[in-house]
């Protein structure tokens, strides 16, 4: 039987018209041939998916996605967005992404947007969801690599904002080593109570403890809740998100003022437009991520970190990013820098100032200008501006000497972070010295030992912790948790009960950037790996000495070894297959808590 012939209908190129808004605005000014030639790198990476007769199937699919034939020779730029509606630091990034795509189209590029996941640490705090926060960093890095490598993009513009999203994208950028520029979503405004007092997320956590202690009533707690996070954006203190967004400026992977330009501001939109303009030189000269993220960039990032008293999490993230960039970086080097760089800013949770105060005082360029004048950072290295760091800083001035102190009048001669070693942390531990009361810079006290976060929180709220104690929270490391959850709830409970100046907390877990007090985290090796912290018992005397960079228990090495040999590790049921895989593969916090590489390991 003869088959019925279907009448053919010619559709010359329907997809570009249907999807035209994604790639080329109808009122866009056409890009000249000369401009297109200037934008082309020596050989586009995207040529692998669009050039030659054998790539006809690929071009067919690209047409279906909305790419017109006449645009195939333009650079393909990935817009790596982290928009997520449940994260206040990211809820506005869909609109911000549209602004960046419009700028990319106007510059003659073909933009393709895709999203990563994003965990809000504040919302995940204090329950099992926090175990997913640090592991999400690895998912983000792997997913960005997957999308970029699979589709052969020529360059990428990364739009992160909050805690693990920034380092996750930076790890991917270092791993992929293509022209890359970062534009963060920006910080939220500082909250204000009815009487004008500044407030932020850490204030709410501490208010919970005050409420449970009977120091404030329901209405007062409600006021903290309603007023502390007034806008979208990354939380207004110098917590992990803002610390990382600021560090990208000195790393050279983002433009000046990336860390302080407010979310939803005209300044933030201009920053994004300027970032797109820088892509032309990055592509033309093939300036890739690793050329920017070199060894000196990481050392300078540590200098800025300790000068501004950033989150302790930044140390772990910088170690992880350096590993992806194939740069050797150790905790010893971190502490060497920390000892020579003064503490010049004191932002919440360590002080009364917030990100909008830092922006008003001149932002990160003003702070870097102080460090550069003192010879504490190297200004002669390339950045994504195409210029050196010192060139980027030439017009920077500190407008408020209380927000950004001069070198001859620092808050402290040593920086705001420190790395401690000792028989409790042979591989190191991290402390935010800027958030420690002077009375706690040397502390000796009895161990109050808890095999997990929840037990410790319950004891603190029940009034079982008293002045002089050292709260020990173990089996919360990268593998032991698993996931190395943050300890903002117990540290906030200690502060809320008025004990921040008399009680220390040590853990193989980690801390939120909003934590304040004598809090030593990332103790390595962790308890689950047989680290000395696993040997501690109730009443053991622990000594924390910040000046000597020591954390020790008053036990002999023989006693510690004997206890570890006979320890009974708590059996923690982990229902998640992903977290079980993570626990099996994750390495020590002292090396960045990255997943083991079977080749490098």
- Residue 187 has φ and ψ, to the nearest 5°, of -80, 155
Residue 5: CB atoms within 10 A of its CB come to: 6
Q: 79: which strand partners?
A: 113, 157
- Strand (E) or helix (H) holding 122: helix 121-124
CA-closest candidate to residue 186, choices 89, 114, 288: 89
Q: Give whole-number Cα distances, 567 to 135, 184, 217, 451, 530, in Å.
A: 27, 46, 44, 12, 9
Give the residue numbers marked as catalytic: 512
Phi, psi of 315 (to 5 degrees): -65, -50
Dihedral of alpha carbons 94, 96, 98, 100, sign: negative
CA–chain centroid gap for 82, Å, is 13
CB 116 within 8 A of CB 80: yes
- d(CA 184, CA 258) in angstroms, rounded, equals 6
Q: Hey, is 192 helix, strand or coil?
A: strand
Which residues are CB-contacts of 591 (< 8 A; sequence separation ≥ 6)?
319, 323
Decide if 427 contacts 357 (C-beta within 8 A).
no
User: Token pair for residue 361?
Assistant: 């005082």
Give the list of residues 6+ apart from residue 214 with CB closer than 8 angstroms, or none: none
| Dihedral sign from CA coordinates of 428, 429, 435, 439 | negative
Q: Can you read off the two tokens belonging to residue 293?
A: 């993220």
**HEC profile for 398-455?**
CCCCCCCCCCCCCCECCCCCEEEEECCEEEEEEECHHHCCHHHCEEEEEEEEECCHHH
Exposed/middle/buried for 356, CB within 10 Å: 0-12, 13-18, 19+?
Answer: middle
In whole angstroms, give the CA distance from residue 294 to residue 297: 5
User: Which of 461, 463, 462, 460 has its CA nearest to residue 473?
Assistant: 460
Tokens standing for residue 162: 């909050």
Q: What is the longest distance spanned by two Cα atoms in the chain?
A: 96
Q: How many residues does the chain have?
A: 601
Burial degree of 172 (CB within 10 A; 0-12, 13-18, 19+): buried
Q: What does the alpha-carbon distance between residue 309 and residue 307 come to, in Å, rounded to a whole number?
A: 6
Residue 559 CB neighbour total at 10 angstroms: 13
Cβ contact 444:453 at 8 Å: no
């Amino acid at each position: 039987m003869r088959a019925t012939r279907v009448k053919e209908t010619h559709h010359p190129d329907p997809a570009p018209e249907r999807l035209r808004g994604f790639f080329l605005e109808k009122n866009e000014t056409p890009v000249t041939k000369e401009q297109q030639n200037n934008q082309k790198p020596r050989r586009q990476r995207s040529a692998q998916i669009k050039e030659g007769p054998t790539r006809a199937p690929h071009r067919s699919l690209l047409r279906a996605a909305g790419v017109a034939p006449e645009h195939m020779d333009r650079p393909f730029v990935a817009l790596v967005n982290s928009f997520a509606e449940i994260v206040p630091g990211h809820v506005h990034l869909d609109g911000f992404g549209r602004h960046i795509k419009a700028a990319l189209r106007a510059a003659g590029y073909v933009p393709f947007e895709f999203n990563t996941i994003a965990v809000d640490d504040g919302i995940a705090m204090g329950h099992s969801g926090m175990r997913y926060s640090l592991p999400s960093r690895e998912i983000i890095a792997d997913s960005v690599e997957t999308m970029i490598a699979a589709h052969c993009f020529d360059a990428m513009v990364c739009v992160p904002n909050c805690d693990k999203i920034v380092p996750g994208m930076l790890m991917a950028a270092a791993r992929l080593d293509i022209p890359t520029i970062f534009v963060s979503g920006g910080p939220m405004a500082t909250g204000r109570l009815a009487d004008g007092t500044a407030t932020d997320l850490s204030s709410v956590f501490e208010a919970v403890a005050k409420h449970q202690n009977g120091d404030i009533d329901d209405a007062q707690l409600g006021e903290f809740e309603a007023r502390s996070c007034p806008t979208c954006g990354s939380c207004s203190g110098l917590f992990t998100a803002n610390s990382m967004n600021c560090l990208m400026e000195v790393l050279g992977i983002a433009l000046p003022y990336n860390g302080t330009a407010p979310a939803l501001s005209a300044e933030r939109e201009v920053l994004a437009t300027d970032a797109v303009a820088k892509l032309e030189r990055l592509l033309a000269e093939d300036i890739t991520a690793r050329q920017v993220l070199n060894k000196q960039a990481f050392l300078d990032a540590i200098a800025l970190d300790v000068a501004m008293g950033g989150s302790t999490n930044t140390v772990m993230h910088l170690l992880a990013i350096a590993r992806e960039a194939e740069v050797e970086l150790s905790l010893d080097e971190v502490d060497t820098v920390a000892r020579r760089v003064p503490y010049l800013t004191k932002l919440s949770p360590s002080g009364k100032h917030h990100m909008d105060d830092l922006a008003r005082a001149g932002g990160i360029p003003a702070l870097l200008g102080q460090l550069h004048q003192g010879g504490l950072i190297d200004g002669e290295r390339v950045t994504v501006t195409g210029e050196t760091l010192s060139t980027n800083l030439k017009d920077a001035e500190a407008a408020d000497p209380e927000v950004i102190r001069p070198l001859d009048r620092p808050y402290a001669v040593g920086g705001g972070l420190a790395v401690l070693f000792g028989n409790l942390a042979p591989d190191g531990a991290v402390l935010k010295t800027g958030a420690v009361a002077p009375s706690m810079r040397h502390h000796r006290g009895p161990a109050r030992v808890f095999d997990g976060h929840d037990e410790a929180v319950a004891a603190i709220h029940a009034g079982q912790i008293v002045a002089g104690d050292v709260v020990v929270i173990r089996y919360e490391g990268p593998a032991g948790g698993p996931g190395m959850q943050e300890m903002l709830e117990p540290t906030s409970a200690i502060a809320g009960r008025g004990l921040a100046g008399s009680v220390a907390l040590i853990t193989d877990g980690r801390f939120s950037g909003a934590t304040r007090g004598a809090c030593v985290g990332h103790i390595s090796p962790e308890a689950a790996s047989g680290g000395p912290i696993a040997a501690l018992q109730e009443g053991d005397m622990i000594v924390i000495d910040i000046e000597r960079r020591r954390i020790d228990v008053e036990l002999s090495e023989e006693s510690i070894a004997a206890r570890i040999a006979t320890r009974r590790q708590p059996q923690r049921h982990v229902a998640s297959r992903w977290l079980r895989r993570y626990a099996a593969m994750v390495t020590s916090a002292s090396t960045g808590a990255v997943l083991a590489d079977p080749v490098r390991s």
